């Protein structure tokens, strides 16, 4: 009789350990997916900014005023840096979920992690909006320059 209860206790302990390992593995996979997504956002925005800078140089060569556009581009770069910081905080919040001792604590940490990830996504969306504004400013400046060039002729 004691052997059976000891076997059951061992089996339950093995199952608990196995479930804990699976949970930790899922948590790590989720953290990696989120991290990859944030890195992708950063890479895409940096590529766009590079292209915009190249276009700005061409505009300057044509004598188009680009100071305001440059300021907006610098703001976008600063916003990317802020989003990266938020991303690191979100990844730390995801990792913290694995340290929870109780189910209630885990639920609270999960809520915090979700909030942090959402804040990071919002920050990246804001970068996208700034870059849309920069693109529109570049288009407007080019149109004005082209129109002024046509009237001068």
Rounded to two decimals, what is the model's pTM? 0.83
Local confidence pLDDT in tens for the 153 residues of the chain: 667 777 787 888 888 888 888 888 998 999 999 999 999 999 999 999 999 999 999 999 999 899 999 999 999 999 999 999 999 999 999 999 988 888 899 899 999 999 999 999 999 999 999 999 999 999 999 988 888 766 655
Structural tokens at position 96: 């913290």
Tell me the C-alpha distance between 29 and 7, whole Å: 33
């Amino acid at each position: 009789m004691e052997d059976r209860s000891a076997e059951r206790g061992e089996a339950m302990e093995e199952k608990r350990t196995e479930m804990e390992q699976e949970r930790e593995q899922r948590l790590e996979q989720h953290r990696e997916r989120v991290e990859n997504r944030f890195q992708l956002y950063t890479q895409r925005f940096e590529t766009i900014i590079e292209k915009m800078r190249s276009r700005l140089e061409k505009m300057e060569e044509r004598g188009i005023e680009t100071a305001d556009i440059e300021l907006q581009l610098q703001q976008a770069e600063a916003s990317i840096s802020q989003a990266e910081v938020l991303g690191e905080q979100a990844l730390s919040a995801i990792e913290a979920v694995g340290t929870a001792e109780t189910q209630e604590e885990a639920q609270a940490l999960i809520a915090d992690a979700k909030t942090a990830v959402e804040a990071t996504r919002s920050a990246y969306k804001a970068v996208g909006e700034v870059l849309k504004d920069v693109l529109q400013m570049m288009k407007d400046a080019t149109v004005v320059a082209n129109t002024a060039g046509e009237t001068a002729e």
